[in-house]
Chains A and B, each alone.
Chain A
């Protein structure tokens, strides 16, 4: 029964926040932070239990005939849930600082909590149908956050987001229904759960295509990525937590579950559906990185970088080799930490110095040294400089690619790393160059914004440095993925 808590606690916090109304901000903050700490503790406890081989706490409720909504605490799900919940706590502190004098904060924090509830639902879903339900709820709860500011661009971005997300949802609905008809209820099982129907190849291929289209929207695989750069009009906490961690990772996590635990690596390769997915992801990586080079708006550049980094995970999963799959899951956590640092910094720059464009960024390091130092750590990590987080997961992904004999995938990874240097380092170099920002008299920015940035930057370093040791996300990913490849021991 505790498997439901990571979903119910944030949902409860959301309802409480909406009921508390706009003025009472102090109790609202307490409720939200309390819920964040509580759900993180629960998730980490469940993870420790699952890590030491404890029984997975699964429980389900029946909805429509032949359709149960169930959650279970398996390692893979708990990793994504842990990332989402822990970073939710950090983002809450940041958001309280960032939204200091914004309007509609009750609505903001309410839907923020519900998004995390839905993301946890996606993470812990026990079978594809439950994952689909939480996936669609996530779309709904994210919409008000994208249009939060109410400006015409925000509304246009919201509308565009919906077209993509609901379009994907429709494809997913047909895919799920079709799968439910030919294969009945198929809970996720490491190594694949469709052996009974593996004979019906054409149907399975079409269903795979529909599901990838559905998940691909949130996983921002080109050409389904159009909504993400637009969604950058949302306030910084939204773009950092949702559009770098919770929402987009839900899409990619769906693909990880689809390939590793629904179809299974063996069936995916034998059906020949893994290679087109890999090629699509590879194209996305390269093209998105090139586009990122040209973006002058800081958040848009980070958005395109996210599109590329997400396809790292998709490509890794589609290669269907143990190391690549483990690297993909590790990258899910590593990228979350790296990218959230950058979005926090972008938000802090926009809020404190009203700097939104890369061209305006010269001389910022002098004015906000701590923030820019954390940004630099994240930038180096993204470019894959050892011993930071980015290098660890990219190394695993590369090793997985070469282990599977697909050298082209390795070249895609490293070329995207080079492009990352191309679009990240000019920002660093510009920020060091002396510009018109004077030395900061008092604290460089709102304390509640600065400290979360430092925390997540520290996490970036920690994830990289402890990559080999058990308990680090990389090792966690290896142990979570191993059963899907038939007892391959890390």
Chain B
């Protein structure tokens, strides 16, 4: 029983298996590359202040993949999540500080829920090792609690629908290098947690369909919000949220059907690797384009299209492989909801395509910044781009399922292209739409619902303070009035005639009582 007791430093264990090697590769690559990029792009004065937060986040972000027991997983998870506060608040503008405050609150909540889930699993499993945790929960009443807690906690991390505003908030303010790291790596930790901790194959049937529905809703909802938002990075934030919705769908597949676990986890990992690299490339690209001018800028714009297309899922791209793995995982399930979701998956591609077009237009429309310092680390961006394209071929075969050979059969080719075409057609039509509709395009501020919630909380806080002050004054003069009343009654009571009459009355009363 004492091993349930966290054994301090001695208890932290790390181990590597197939899932963690892939994630470590992704996280290490993204964190290090973005770090170098940030080193070059951030002015030297701010560099120290940035890396005070960047380094612990990077260490946590990379180590979390290898954590093998609940305590070390929670430590690395916290080590990565909390310093991100500093990255977001780095520009020290009022908006960034407020966004960082929102992020810190949501992270604190997600940390708390994760801890609760870990403790529940640890008591059930009578031990701390991650592998033991997941299997022990199966079939027990706490499985329901654990799954809800995990989905809530990780939902906040990967931007599931009600909280999908958190990703644009995270990406909008930090320096571009840091934002790329966040986009590429930190959101994927949620996916890692889904694979590591979510009870697989033991949940009742209803859970899978419910989570799938949430995943789909996020995929479509985030896409709609993304199209309507204002800045390129916010669009990328919403696109991450919608892609993570698909990851959630993939994870849901593993919940209640044991046979689908392998496929589902494969899909999650594939999706994470693909999305991490593509989103990182896009984020860096956005900054590179902003820095370049003239002919170099047009070349960069063209290059930017590559990760965008891969996201949409064009054949031979990592997006295509990931989407295919997702389809296989969902297809393996039976029942009305999985079939419907399976049918919907291609339509999510339209959403992503629309987001990419919106992103593209915003980047192009953004005015050229004045001449920035000479050496812009485009070479780093080039490396990120090539890796994001080539990765699909070099990552371990088990994540590809049978994606490669099916790339060339016409049916799957067509199912990958038509969504992109419809999106382009839609965008073209919308250009001529009435002004009122077009104005709608800029209506959603990044992090939409969270800002309103934050304002509401501040209002309540002001109200509470005012009410406490008023009660203090009224009690003071109440005391004074009571004192005067006391003194005057005493003066009357002590007067001679009154007192002596009272005494006589007392004597008579005693006589009456005793002779009764």
- A residues with CB within 8 A of B: 294, 323, 384-387, 391-392, 394-396, 398-399, 401-403, 407, 410-411, 413-415, 417-419, 421-422, 425-426, 429, 432, 464-469, 474-475, 478, 489-490
Contacts and interface: CB of A to CB of B under 8 A. Distances in A.
A419 B111 CA distance: 11
A386 B2 contact: no
Given A385-B78, A421-B82, A392 B5 contact: yes
B45 to A, nearest CB: 11
Interface string B1-18: 111111111111000000
Given A387-B71, A468-B11, A478-B5, A415 B82 contact: no
Instruction: Give the secondary structure class of B's interface.
Output: helix
Interface string B455-491: 0000001001100000000000000000000000000
Interface stretch (B117-125, B331-339, B358-366): B117-125
A464 B10 CA distance: 11
B1 A489 contact: yes
B145 interface: yes
Contacts of A465: 8-10
Nearest to B113: A414
Given A402-B142, A414-B113, A385 B108 contact: no
Contacts of A429: 85-86, 89
Contacts of B116: 398, 407, 410-411, 413-414
B451 to A, nearest CB: 18
Given A385-B78, A417-B112, A468-B2, A410 B7 contact: no
Q: Give 3 closest A-B pairs by Cβ, nearest first.
A: A468-B7, A414-B112, A465-B8
A40 to B, nearest CB: 24
Contacts of B86: 429
Nearest to A467: B8
Given A386-B75, A474-B5, A395 B119 contact: yes
Contacts of B119: 395, 398-399, 401-402, 410, 414
Nearest to A488: B1
27 contacts: A294-B464, A294-B465, A323-B4, A385-B79, A386-B75, A387-B11, A387-B12, A387-B71, A398-B116, A399-B119, A401-B119, A410-B119, A411-B116, A413-B116, A414-B116, A414-B119, A417-B115, A418-B111, A418-B112, A421-B104, A421-B107, A422-B105, A422-B108, A425-B85, A432-B52, A468-B5, A490-B2
B207 interface: no
B8 A392 contact: yes
B74 interface: yes
Interface residues of B, number: 43
B109 interface: yes
Interface of B: 1-12, 52, 71-72, 74-75, 78-79, 82, 85-86, 89, 104-105, 107-109, 111-113, 115-116, 119-120, 122-124, 142, 145, 461, 464-465
Given A385-B78, A422-B105, A294 B461 contact: yes
Nearest to A389: B8
A335 B4 CA distance: 20
B115 A398 contact: yes
A466 B78 contact: no
Contacts of B112: 414-415, 417-418
Contact of A422 (B104, B123, B461, B464): B104
A156 to B, nearest CB: 11
Among A417, A418, A419, A490, chain B packs the most CB atoms within 10 A around the CB of: A418
Contacts of A421: 82, 104, 107-108, 111
Q: Most A CB atoms within 10 A — which of B86, B111, B145?
A: B111
B463 to A, nearest CB: 12
A386 B74 contact: yes
A399 B122 contact: yes
B108 A418 contact: yes
A459 to B, nearest CB: 13
